[in-house]
């Protein structure tokens, strides 16, 4: 599967916008991602291994938390995962975008 | 004559008159284990637009209207900015109250509550792809402004001095009066940095011994919405990194926990940045207590919880 990395996390993926990951489920794909890029782990997961509550993962535009099997949802080679920080407010990178 | 003046100042005549002069709330239960420490929260959620952002937004709008860049002289000209946050809501409210058009570029991933509020105020909202985040919204603003600058007043809260001046002129003086000059510490999170810059500059003039402590998220990837991790961001033009006595790096989860605690222990439903502010203030309170000092610590309750109630942390353990 292909995982889209949000701008603030690209510092931990050698600036790659997308990363190819193995695994048959969403959870396996995320595990593959953090194994490739260990510095990502603390940003995505709590110390006890739960997805941090402000981290949203979309499977082809569906929020994984609202899918029946959640992170155990099966994925195929062509599936695209997108990681998006919860943005109920604010615009954390406005300055970095508008001042370049 | 006198009663008319009182009506103007105490009651106000319009929505814009109700911005500022917010209550100062004692958060006694949060520091009940720390005798000698007073913890105070400036209730910015009491502003008519529901957040501290009413102050900079109205300051920016008033200056633009005074300069003839917005308003009656150019009634078709629209205030333009990229924000799905509180500043956008404040602009939209002011646009309706003062009758100028507002155009906001908003990531499609913004919460349904916010989208509905912006719509209810009558703002023109242009949605940009969710996956592009606020970058996408900013690119759209630049595209619109670049194509027809005559159509828009680009408000640019990150680079506009009227942002921090709003706090320099109003919030800081209110804090000084409400604490009768007893404030010892001021703590504020930074997004645009306007709240911290403006309050700190004025409070230092009033008493140079006040400790002014800024707060930022501990990571660029954070649940503390609207706040900025300065080391990985290009710094807002209005930010002066040398102003703070000290900076504290805030984690997301303790801020969430403080939001829940303020709801249950103080009857205050506040947003995530307010939770982060209070949690940081508590950290300072514990340090001062441990050092055997009394302190009057003031922080900002930036907004209420209503726009965040669909966040999962309220119901998660």
- Supply A3's token pair: 């995982």
Residue range A2-12, pLDDT digits in tens: 999 987 788 89
- Flag if B82 and A91 touch (Cβ within 8 Å): yes
Helices of type H across chain B: 2-6, 54-66, 86-98, 112-120, 133-147, 161-166, 172-178, 194-206, 252-266, 272-290
**What whole-number distance in Å separates Cα of residue B141 and Cα of residue B134?**
10
Nearest by CB to residue A95, choosing from B158, B310, B313, is B158
Query: Does the distance separating the beta carbons of B84 and A87 come in below 8 Å?
Result: yes
CATH of the domain at A12: 3.10.20.30
Handedness of CA B31, B286, B51, B181 (dihedral sign): positive
Nearest by CB to B107, from A53, A87, A95: name it.
A87
Cβ contact B185:B88 at 8 Å: no
User: What's chain A's length in residues?
Assistant: 100
State the DSSP string of B110-140.
S-HHHHHHHHHTT-EEEEE-GGGHHHHHHHH
| CB interface of B with A, residues 278-307, below 8 Å | 303, 307
Residue A31, burial from CB neighbour count under 10 angstroms (0-12, 13-18, 19+): middle
Q: Of B45, B65, B119, nearest to B267 (Cα)?
A: B45
In chain A, the percentage of residues whose pLDDT exceeds 70 is 85
Phi, psi of B116 (to 5 degrees): -70, -35
A66 inside 8 A of chain B by CB: no
Could you read off the pLDDT of B259-298 as tens digits, one per residue? 999 999 999 999 999 999 999 999 999 999 999 999 999 9
Single out the residue of A84, A82, A80, A59 nearest to residue A69, CA to CA. Answer: A59
Asked if residues B188 and B198 have their Cβ atoms less than 8 Å apart, the reply is no
Tokens of B70: 């917005």
Q: How far is A20 from chain B (nearest CA, A)?
A: 17
Tokens read off for A36: 């490739």
- Any CB–CB contact under 8 A between A47 and chain B? no
Whether residue B253 and residue A100 make contact (CB cut-off 8 A), yes or no, is: no
**What domain range includes position A66?**
2-98
Which one of A8, A9, A90 has the shortest CB-CB distance to B85? Answer: A90
Average pLDDT, chain A: 82
Q: Which residue has the tokens 């970095």?
A: A96
Edge-to-edge strand ranges of the sheet holding A55-59: A18-20, A2-4, A80-85, A55-59, A62-63
CB pair distance less than 8 Å for B253 and A52: yes
pLDDT at residue A66, rounded to an integer: 87
Distances A15 to A9, A12, B184 between C-alpha atoms, Å: 8, 7, 43
Give ∠ CA B193-B254-B45 in degrees, rounded to 5.
50
Rounded distance, CA B157 to CA B192, Å? 7
Mind telling me how many Å the CA of A29 is from chain B's nearest CA? 19
Partner-chain residue, chosen from A4, A11, A94, that has the shortest CB–CB distance to B158 = A94
Q: Give the tens place of pLDDT for each residue, A29-60.
A: 999 999 999 999 988 998 888 888 888 899 98
Structural domains of chain A, count? 1
Q: ipTM above 0.85? A: no
Query: Is 50 exceeded by the pLDDT of residue A96?
Result: no
Note the CATH number of domain B11-52+167-314: 3.40.50.1100
Say if A74 is an interface residue toward chain B (CB within 8 Å): no
Specify whether domain B54-154 bears CATH 3.40.50.1100. yes
Written as one string, the DSSP assignment of B147-175 is H-GGGEEE--TTT-HHHHHHIIIIIHHHH
Q: Quote the pLDDT of residue A87.
A: 56
Nearest chain A residue to B53, by CA: A90
Structure-token match 């340090």, residue found: B287
Residues of chain B falling short of pLDDT 70:
1-12, 84, 130-135, 234
pLDDT reported for residue B207: 98
pLDDT band at residue A100 using 50, 70 and 90 as cut-offs? very low
Cβ contacts of B193 on chain A, cutoff 8 Å:
none
**Contact between A97 and B135 using a beta-carbon 8 Å cutoff:** yes
Instruction: List every span in chain B annotated with CATH 3.40.50.1100.
Output: 11-52+167-314, 54-154
User: Please, what's the b/e burial string for A46-84 (b: 16 or more CB within 10 A of its CB; e: otherwise)?
Assistant: eeeeebbbbbbbbbeeeebeeeeeebebebeeebebbbb
pLDDT, residue A92, reads 39
Question: Are the C-beta atoms of B21 and B54 separated by less than 8 Å?
Answer: no
In a 10 Å sphere around its CB, with 0-12 CB exposed, 13-18 middle and 19+ buried, how is residue B262 labelled?
buried
Instruction: Note the pLDDT of residue B3.
Output: 58
pLDDT at site A95 = 32
pLDDT of residue B272: 93
Mutation pick from B104, B114, B130, B134 vs chain A, by most beta carbons of A within 10 Å, is: B134
Smallest CA–CA distance from B87 into chain A, residue? A90
Q: In this structure, what token pair is assigned to residue A47?
A: 């110390």
């Amino acid at each position: 599967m292909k995982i889209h990395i949000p701008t603030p996390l690209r510092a931990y993926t050698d600036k790659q916008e997308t990363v190819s990951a193995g695994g048959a489920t969403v959870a396996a794909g995320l595990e593959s991602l953090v194994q490739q890029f260990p510095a990502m782990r603390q940003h995505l997961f709590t110390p006890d291994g739960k997805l941090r509550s402000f981290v949203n993962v979309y499977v082809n535009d569906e929020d994984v938390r609202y899918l029946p099997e959640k992170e155990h949802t099966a994925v195929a080679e062509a599936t695209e995962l997108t990681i998006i920080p919860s943005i109920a407010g604010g615009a954390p990178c406005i300055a970095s975008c508008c001042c370049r | 004559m006198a009663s008319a003046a009182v009506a103007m100042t105490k009651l106000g005549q319009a929505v814009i008159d109700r911005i500022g002069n917010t209550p100062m709330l004692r958060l006694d239960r949060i520091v009940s284990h720390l005798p000698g420490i007073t913890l105070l929260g400036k209730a910015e959620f009491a502003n008519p637009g529901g957040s501290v952002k009413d102050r900079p937004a109205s300051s920016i709008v008033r200056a633009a209207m005074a300069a003839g860049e917005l308003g009656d002289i150019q009634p078709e000209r629209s205030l333009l900015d990229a924000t799905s946050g509180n500043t956008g809501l404040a602009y939209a409210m002011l646009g309706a109250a003062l009758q100028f058009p507002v155009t906001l570029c908003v990531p499609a991933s913004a919460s349904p509550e916010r989208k509905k509020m912006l719509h209810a105020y009558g703002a023109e909202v242009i949605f940009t792809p969710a996956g592009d985040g606020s970058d996408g919204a900013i690119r759209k603003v630049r595209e619109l402004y670049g194509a027809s600058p005559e159509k828009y007043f680009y408000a640019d809260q990150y680079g506009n001095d009227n942002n921090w001046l709003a706090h320099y002129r109003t919030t800081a003086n209110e804090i000084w009066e409400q604490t009768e000059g007893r404030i010892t510490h001021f703590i504020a999170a930074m997004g645009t940095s306007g709240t911290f810059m403006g309050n700190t500059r004025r409070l230092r003039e009033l008493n140079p011994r006040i400790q002014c402590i800024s707060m930022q998220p501990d990571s660029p990837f954070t649940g503390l919405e609207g706040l900025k991790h300065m080391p990985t961001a290009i710094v807002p033009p209005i930010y002066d990194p040398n102003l703070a006595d000290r900076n504290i790096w805030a984690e997301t989860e303790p801020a969430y926990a403080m939001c829940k605690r303020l709801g249950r222990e103080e009857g205050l439903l506040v947003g995530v940045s307010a939770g982060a502010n209070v949690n940081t203030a508590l950290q300072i309170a514990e340090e001062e207590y441990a050092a055997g000092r009394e302190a009057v610590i003031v922080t900002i309750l930036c907004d209420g919880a209503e726009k965040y109630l669909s966040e999962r942390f309220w119901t998660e353990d």
